[in-house]
Amino acid sequence: MRSDWGVRLFQRTTRSQSLTDNGALFYEHCLRALEEIRGAESLLETGKQQVSGRLRVAMPVLFGRQCVAPLLIALAQEHPGLELEMSFSDRVVDLVEEGFDMAVRNGTLQDSSVLVARRLGEHRMVLCAAPDYLLKKGTPQSVDDLLHHAAINYLQAGRVLSWQLMDSEGASHTFTPRSSLNMDDLQAICDAALAGHGIAWLPCWMVSKEIHQGKLVPLLKQAPDVRFDVHAVWQQTPHLPLRVRIAVDTLASRLPSIMSLDRPAPTKKPR
């Protein structure tokens, strides 16, 4: 049997029939085309379907509780048929083995042939301290001034995470602070900074409220090339469930403003 292009697609004998190499290649591409068509049909149906079913999402503890969970809870309120289940853990969960539909992950992703990722935003860092501390110790005007200040360090895998800062000429500097306060919990570091125990380098999403309220004061300038990406990941599939797609789209559109230091204060809706 030959196609219109004069290429043999099948190899026949008196007892069997099989694809030729060209036939197998043609068949593979046809399957891909059919998948694309089904995907397009699914997109057309999106507006007609209701978001429903169970959605299991894994996320980091602090970031998830403060930034991700409120958005997903609001999404569940918009779609009464959605059953939301959130798991908070700082370990990297196995989506397939543990039955999660998706996960939110910070930092560099591990290579995977079975997962798909979409960037949701990025962490920006800010160096800050309480007004009482600055009143007693003075406000640092340069990276060199930090040598004379108390630091509150973040421990990552037992090692102090260096601060990435900019000098007055715009050059990036890596500064490794020395301190008697070293912690592997960001909330504990934030609490210590609020109590006036020293200077801390923290994510903007974590301290934006305290900065706007005047409880913490931003210091110096952060190196513009420092970023910690945030991704949504899910298992690779030809047809992504609508509830997962809607959740990812919601996070991608709303997370960046929550993670920004310049986010506006919430306003009350008129009754």
Low-confidence ranges of the chain (pLDDT < 70): 1-6, 15, 35-36, 38-49, 111, 168, 223-225, 262-271
pLDDT of residue 170: 73
Give yes or no: residues 103 and 183 share one domain.
no
Give yes or no: residues 135 and 209 share one domain.
yes
pLDDT of residue 81: 92
Give yes or no: residues 114 and 161 share one domain.
no
Residue of 72, 76, 66 lying closest to 232 (CA atoms): 72
* Contact call for residues 17 and 11 (beta carbons, < 8 A): yes
This prediction has a pTM of: 0.69
Q: Report the alpha-carbon distance of residue 176 to residue 197 in Å, rounded.
A: 18
> Looking at the domain assignment, is residue 33 inside a domain?
no
Give yes or no: residues 131 and 109 share one domain.
no
Domain ranges, residue 167:
125-222
- Number of domains composing the chain: 2
Tokens of 221: 């300038």
> Looking at the domain assignment, is residue 5 inside a domain?
no
- Alpha carbon of residue 216 to chain centroid: 25
